[in-house]
Structures are given as C-alpha cells and as structure tokens.
C-alpha cells in the first residue's frame, strides 16, 4: 500500500516538475486555476450561507429543528465537531420555512451555475477558417539559426485550443514582400495558459525564415488552425518510435509532452533525433530531462553528422541498424512517426519498409 502511495507521489512530483520545466514563468496549469476558483466559490458560498442564516427573520421553530437534525451528522463529520448540537444554535430555534426554502433554492441555483462555469472547458483561440493575430511577447535565441517565440493569447487565462498532434498555419512575408504561409507545431500544450511557444529553425534562404528573423517583440503573427491529419489519444498504441531531423522535433515534442504529463498514459516513446552538430539539437535540455525523469516511458538517442570528440550517441545518418536498435519492433500496436527534411523522410521510409514496418505502422508529419 505504502509503496503504491510513494509511487503516486513520485509521479505527481515528476509531472509537476515537468510542468514547471516547460513553463517557468507560469507554473499554474488550467487545472490548478480551476481548483483555486472552485475553492474560492466554495468559500464565498459558505460566507453567503452564514450571512443569510444570521439575517433571517427567526420565526418557525419546528421546521428549523428538523433541518438542523438532518444537517447535524454531515456538518459534524465535515467539521469534525463530534459533540456539536445544531439544534441548540440560536438560528435553529426560529426560522421562517418559506425563507429557508428560497435560500436553499437560490443556493442550489448558485452551485449549479458555479459548477457549470468551473467545469466548462475553456474555449480555444484558433479559427480554422480565418487568420488571427497573436502578439510576440518574447523571442529567445536558442542557437545561431533557431529561436523560441512566445506569443500572448487574448487573455492571461486563454488557451490556444490545439489538439495534440495538430499544427497551425502561419502567414508572413518573404524578403521580397510576397505573402508566404508555412506550417508550425507549438511546443506548448493547452496546460500552458495565456501563451503559446514556437521553436523555429531559420534557413538562410527560407521565405518564412526571413519573416521570423525580422520579427521583433511587440509584432503580430497571423495564425490559422488547427490543422493536420494526425490526432493523438492516450493508449492508441503501445509504443511510438519517433525519427526526427532538425526542426522536425516539434511535432514529436508536443506528443512526448502530452504523454509524459499524463500519469495515466502508459505509452512508451523511443525517439531518434538526428542533427548536424551538438549546437543544432533543439530542446536538448528538455529532452534529456524527460529521459532522466521518465526512464521507463521515454528514451532518446541522438545522432550527429559531426559529433564532438566525446560522444556516446550515433554518428552519421540514421541507418537501418540504428532504427532496429532504438525503435519498437514492427507490430500492430506500435507506430513510427517521421518528421525531417525531405531527403531524410524518403530515406527513413525506405529503411522502415525494409525492416518490415507496414504503411499502417508509419506516419509522416
């Protein structure tokens, strides 16, 4: 029993650490905010009951005595007052039953409204048909050609509303002022309230890359979504193999986070992440932290074209042998997700086919 509780506690701590790791400025999740709101509502309602009860015209003795008797057990149990006799309280002696009825009805209405408000899932901010503008509030350079862009949502308690596995379409202007649209996958989830983050790799001649390079804090980005063919539900496979190259990590990262943040999700993830050099590895610290904190659920194998002298990951391109050693074996209840530059995607599809992974067992973002 204690072992079980320890395990649950350990898991809760890990999940909490993960959330704080991913949103250092705003550790509160939507769930935590709702719990606070629920507590506040309960407190306000309790104060209101007390005030109403004290303000009531004390008249009818009998009715209140019956109610006091009915309330006594749960009240005493809740407050842990074993010997409190509600019937002896002054308000219990005389109370107008009509007034009491009205109070109970009002309270029931209030509770129902508060419950509906609290349990209503927050509405997302995206529109699949129309572009909406989001303000860039922070730009953090991650390497010579990659940056993390944080965009504010309309209110501090708004959520983006992007289902796990989906992406967004972004509109900007290239270096000639021509309109350009490209897909991106936020690395934040709906458990991050008030903002969303994009990690973008900017190529020297890339059209949208130019737009992102030029963006300054305070500028707005036009975004439309959600879109994409992939959707994720906990337990849809036993294990994922993931093969990512460069900025192809972002769709994987989103799914990995969703899996690891959900203690009920038992899906295992095996990630192979290919880059040119160590400094090109996006989100390395976060990925390595996931591997340390969730060793039974997540494994990452880095592969580099130009490894440093001390390197215990893979070297060169992702080969059939690397896939064989670091991905789940072909089976109906596993899936291999791929996302990388076109040449890498083609090479991986060939390797996977030769290793016996059917097209149902593969997905390319």
Ligand X SMILES: Cc1cc2nc3c(=O)[nH]c(=O)nc-3n(C[C@H](O)[C@H](O)[C@H](O)COP(=O)(O)OP(=O)(O)OC[C@H]3O[C@@H](n4cnc5c(N)ncnc54)[C@H](O)[C@@H]3O)c2cc1C
User: Least distance to ligand X from the beta carbon of 348, Å?
Assistant: 13
Q: Say if residue 199 carries a ligand binding annotation.
A: yes
User: Least distance to ligand X from the beta carbon of 146, Å?
Assistant: 7
Report d(CA 319, CA 259) in Å as an integer. 27
> Nearer to ligand X by C-beta: 102 or 277?
277
Q: Say if residue 77 carries a ligand binding annotation.
A: no
User: Least distance to ligand X from the beta carbon of 217, Å?
Assistant: 19
Structure tokens given for 27? 């550790």
Q: Say if residue 117 carries a ligand binding annotation.
A: no
User: Least distance to ligand X from the beta carbon of 302, Å?
Assistant: 17
Q: Say if residue 182 carries a ligand binding annotation.
A: yes
Q: Say if residue 207 carries a ligand binding annotation.
A: yes
User: Least distance to ligand X from the beta carbon of 246, Å?
Assistant: 5
Q: Which residue is nearest to ligand X (CB)?
A: 206
Q: Say if residue 166 carries a ligand binding annotation.
A: no
Residues making contact with ligand X (CB under 6 A): 167, 180, 182-185, 198-201, 203, 205-209, 246-247, 250-251, 341, 365
> Nearer to ligand X by C-beta: 191 or 247?
247
> HSE (CB half, 13 Å, CA atoms) of 88?
3
Show the 3-state SS of the chain: CHHHHHHHHHHHHHHHHHHHHHCCCCCCCHHHHHHHHHHHHHHHHHHHHHHHHHHCCCCCHHHHHHHHHHHHHHHHHHHCCCCCCHHHCHHHHCCCHHHHHHHHHHHHHHHHHHHHHHHCCCCECCCCCCCEEEEEEEEEEEECCEEEEEEECCCCCCECCCCCCCEEEEEEECCCCCEEEEEECCCCCCCCCCEEEEEEECCCCCHHHHHHHHCCCCCEEEEEEEECCCCCCCCCCCEEEEEEEHHHHHHHHHHHHHHHHCCCCCCEEEEEEEECCHHHCCCHHHHHHHHHHCCCCEEEEEEECCCCCCCCCEECCCCHHHHHHHCCCCCCCEEEEEECCHHHHHHHHHHHHHCCCCHHHEEEC
> Nearer to ligand X by C-beta: 199 or 318?
199
The full length of the chain comes to 365
Q: Say if residue 201 carries a ligand binding annotation.
A: yes
> Nearer to ligand X by C-beta: 186 or 268?
186
User: Least distance to ligand X from the beta carbon of 251, Å?
Assistant: 6
> Nearer to ligand X by C-beta: 86 or 249?
249
Structure tokens given for 304? 């580099």
User: Least distance to ligand X from the beta carbon of 227, Å?
Assistant: 8
> Nearer to ligand X by C-beta: 184 or 298?
184
Return binding residues.
182, 184, 199, 201, 207-209, 250
Return binding residues for FAD.
182, 184, 199, 201, 207-209, 250
């Amino acid at each position: 029993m204690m072992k079980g509780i320890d395990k649950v506690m350990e898991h809760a701590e890990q999940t909490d650490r993960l959330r704080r790791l991913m949103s250092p400025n705003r550790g509160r999740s939507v769930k935590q905010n709702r719990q606070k709101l629920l507590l506040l509502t309960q407190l306000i309602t309790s104060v209101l009951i007390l005030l109403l009860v004290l303000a009531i015209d004390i008249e009818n003795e009998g009715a209140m005595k019956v109610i006091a008797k009915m309330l006594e057990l749960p009240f005493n149990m809740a407050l842990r007052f074993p010997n409190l006799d509600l019937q002896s309280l002054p308000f219990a002696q005389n109370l107008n039953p009509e007034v009491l009825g009205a109070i109970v009805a009002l309270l029931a209405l209030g509770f129902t409204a508060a419950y509906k408000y609290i349990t209503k899932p927050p509405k997302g901010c995206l529109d699949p048909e129309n572009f909406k503008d989001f303000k860039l509030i922070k730009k953090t350079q991650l390497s010579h050609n990659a940056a993390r862009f944080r965009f504010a949502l309309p209110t501090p308690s708004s959520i983006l509303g992007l289902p796990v596995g989906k992406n967004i379409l972004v509109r900007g202007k290239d270096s000639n002022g021509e309109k350009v649209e490209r897909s991106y996958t936020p690395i934040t989830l709906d458990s991050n309230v008030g903002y969303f983050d994009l990690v973008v790799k900017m190529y020297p001649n890339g059209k949208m890359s130019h737009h992102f390079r030029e963006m300054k804090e305070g500028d707005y980005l036009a975004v439309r979504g959600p879109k994409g063919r992939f959707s994720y539900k906990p337990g849809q496979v036993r294990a994922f193999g993931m093969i990512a190259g460069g900025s192809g990590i972002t769709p994987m990262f989103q799914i990995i986070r969703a899996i690891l943040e959900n203690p009920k999700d038992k899906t295992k993830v095996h990630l192979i992440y290919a880059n040119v050099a160590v400094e090109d590895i996006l989100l390395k610290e976060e990925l390595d932290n996931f591997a340390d904190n969730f060793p039974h659920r997540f494994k990452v194998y880095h592969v580099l074209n130009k490894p440093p002298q001390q390197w215990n990951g893979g070297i060169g391109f992702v080969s059939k042998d690397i896939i064989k050693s670091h991905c789940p074996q072909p089976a109906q209840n596993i899936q291999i997700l791929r996302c990388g530059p076109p040449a890498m995607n083609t090479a991986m599809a060939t390797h996977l086919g030769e290793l016996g992974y059917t097209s149902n067992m593969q997905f390319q973002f």
